[in-house]
Each structure stands twice: as C-alpha cells, then as structure tokens.
Chain A
Amino acid sequence: MKIEGEYVFDAPREEVWKVVRDPEVLTTCVPSVQSVSKVNENEFTGEIVLRIGPLSGAFGGRVTVGNEVPPESCTLTVEGTGKIGFLKGVGNVVLVEQDGGKTLMKYSGEAQIGGKVASVGQRLFDSVSKGMIKQGLDKLNDILVKRMAA
C-alpha cells in the first residue's frame, strides 16, 4: 500500500528538521504512541496502540532513520508487530524550503500490513493512516509555531 503526501510547516527547515529528529517531541505528536526509547542516534523503539474499525491492539515497533542528509531528507524504516497483525514500511521524507519561512514536507512510502489488520481492517487502514499522519503533523506544526513565538 502506498502512503504519500505533502504538508507545509509554518517554520524554517532547520527547525522542522530538529523536531523531526527528536523522538521526545515526535512521541507527543503521533497519536496513540505509548512510549518511545532511543536505541542509538538512528534507531528508536516504541509502542503504539492502533484502533482500526473493529480492531484495536498494541504494536511494538522499531523506527530506523537512514540516508540522512540534514536538514533535507532521510529515510524512515518502520517495523511493528502486535496481536492484531504486523506492519512494515519504508518512507522517504524530504524537506523543501519555501518562501516566508515555511517548509514543505513531502513524504512517500510503501507499507505492508498482515494478519487481522490486513484481512479485516484494510478498507479502513488507508483512511486511518492518513488521519493519523494529518493529526500528527498538525500537532508538530503547533509545537513549531509555539517554539518560534517563544
């Protein structure tokens, strides 16, 4: 399944990059994340509770950051397993400077899901994931705007 989108942050690229690479901040933004811990600079583990239609369950996962070109781009590899299935994904994140101190984020990736999440939840997975990404990015933007104002 493809995940693709764009988002414009009301903050300069350097600032956006900082929060994107800060798991403490990210944790507070991604909906339903229960915990995140840093394994090393480029690897984080954590737990997230997903609710997809009739299904809900905790996923234990690992996020690895690769191909890092600060503050322009990186690759995120996500792997998670839980009682309602598994998910795997690789995504590219690109930050492009915009006029007026804004930053355009482009993201694109492939996600693979299996188990109950796929067989019962697939029809909803697309909209759930889109919703979660939108919510997360909005929250991240709020944090950035507040930081800028401070």
Chain B
Amino acid sequence: MMLIVGTIPIKDLPLTLGRVRAEGEWLALNGHSIPCTQGTGAMISAALAATDYLKLEPPQVLVAGDIGEGSGSRQIYEYLIQRVAELSPQVLALHYCVPDMALMRRLCQSIKGCAKAPILVADAGSMYAAKAAGLATEFDLFTPDATEMAFLADPDATHPAYISKHLFDLDISQTPKLVADAYRQRSAAKLLLVKGAIDYVARDGEVLATIAEPNIPELEAIGGTGDTITGLVSALAYAGLKLDEAAIIAARANRLAGRSATITPATKVSQVVDHFPAVFQELAPQKEETKMVEIDVRGFSCPIPVIRAKKAIEEKPKEVITVLVDNAAAKENVSRLAKSEGYSVEIEEVGENFCLRLSPPKNR
C-alpha cells in the first residue's frame, strides 16, 4: 500500500483514511470532496494520475482539515503514531502538517514497528519537522525546493523563514554546495530531489543527476507544481522503480506536463495534472527501445500465465520479458519455467502484485 499523509485546507474535514478517486477537478474520498489545489491535494492528484496510468491500486490517503491552527495536523500524527505498524505501507509520504518536532520523533519511533520498513518520503511541513528534530537521515527521500535546500543546509534554522541571508542569496547553481553541506550536517534524507530552475537528484552529498529541460520557469509561480513532483516520485517508487530513477522521471514528467499545458504564471496546478497521462505516454516509448516484452496476466490463474510467458520466450528469445501477476502460484510457476529455459529471474513486489523480470541467457 502507498499512503499519503497531509492536511487539507477545509476547516471541518474530519480525520479520514481511505482510497481516493478523481472526480473532475476534485478528489473523492469517503464521501468528502478534496480540491486539487496547492498542497496535499495536488500531491495526491499527481500520484493518482501515475497509479492510474500504471494500473496500480490508487493511493490510500490519511487527511484531516487544518487551516493552520494545527489541530488537524496533530490528529493525523497521533493516529499514525498508533496505527502505522498495523498499516505497514510500502511507501509512506508525509506532507503538509504543522511542523512539530516531538510528534515527528514519536512517529519515527512507531515506524520502526512496521514489519518491513516503508520507503519514507517527506516534503513541506513534515520535512521541516524531520530536519529540525535531527531525524533527516531516517528518511529515504526529501523533495525540497531551492530555498528549502538552503534551510536543510543551515545548521541553526528550524524553519525556512530563519535561514541565513547569505544562503537565501545563493544562485541555483550553488545548490550542489548546499547539498554537500546538508549531508555533512546529517540534515538530508538518503536521497534528495531538489526542485527548481534546475532539478538536482543527490545522494551522500553527490549530485547524481540534473534535469533542466524543458526549461519552464513559470512552473515556480504555480502553487502545487512542487507537490506534484513529490506525488509522482512517490507513486513511481511504489511501482517498483529505484528511488533515484523515480526522482529523475518525476522531475522530467513535471516539466513536460508544464510545457504540454502551455502554462503561464496564472495557470492552476490542476491544468498541469490533466496533462500527466499524455506525458506518461510520451515517456513510454523509451521502454520499447530497450526491447522489452510486457505481459500483464493479473486476474488469471495458472496455467494461463505460464502459457503466455512460454509463448513470449519462444517468439522473442533475445528480449527481456516482464510478467505482471497477482498471485503467488503464478509467480512460482512462471519463475520455474523461465529458469528451466536458462533465464535469470528478478522478482519485485508491486503493491499487491508481483513483477517478474525474465532476462534471457547471454549466449542466446
């Protein structure tokens, strides 16, 4: 399960846990309507666009109304502290909440009770709290913007409003220095995706990748376009991509959606989200170039998955074959078949499904 956690700017929205679905410009959740605007609404919308496209189960979300007075944030955190081990999400993305160091400390302790450690993502107020409480290194991914990166690099700042002037003044090209400083001070998550005019993906103080094209400066003005990147990378990690690959694709997809929507500084984030399906299709042909055969046999029990896999092996003997199944018996039977043909088999859990990557023997 992928779990997105954050507040919604509707004062009376009660604490709610459930699956979302899109309804025009709104998200439907257990009878409530959530706007796809700046904040957790935008993040959920982007994640939902990605899970829909990838045919994965939609994100679970834990939300509460909060317009800044903090009660909804505290409800969310208290609930999660009690229930996170039971929920045991594969990806846990923490978002807009009043930053509270003590609550974040208790939550991180509770997360240790999960049967399997979730991929832990933080952005917005949850990231502020994690850094201020000295818990950054417990997280797999932070997604700061350039100013928030300066906040992570400032050892004395407990909020971006208090960063040192000389750090605020730094040009975007200086981001690698801030990245290195943040890692040295243990104020960074294991992976950073820094969002800005140039997006940086960094690990252990080193920049792994930069994404600068297409260059769409107007994205910075549109409230929610940073949130959409965080939603995309979380969903792609849930789909089984390596976190650094997911970060690079998310940053690029966001830019492409901005270009496709022909945005201005007055554009709404929902108009950018509307373009994600087309962008995913634009990115998808790159998969075919790697000569990969994909078989989706979810909903079928054996022998159908084995028969389909065997047919692909016979027809495309030199190509990598990915097989998506939804039950353990199919996983075992397809693996056995592939190994008997000399294939190497990698298996990844993707939500409640299994993705089998069958690579042919090199001498074929």
User: A and B from one assembly?
Assistant: no
Residues of chain B touching chain A, judged by Cβ–Cβ distance below 8 Å, are: none
Seen from chain A, the residues whose Cβ lies within 8 Å of a Cβ on chain B are: none
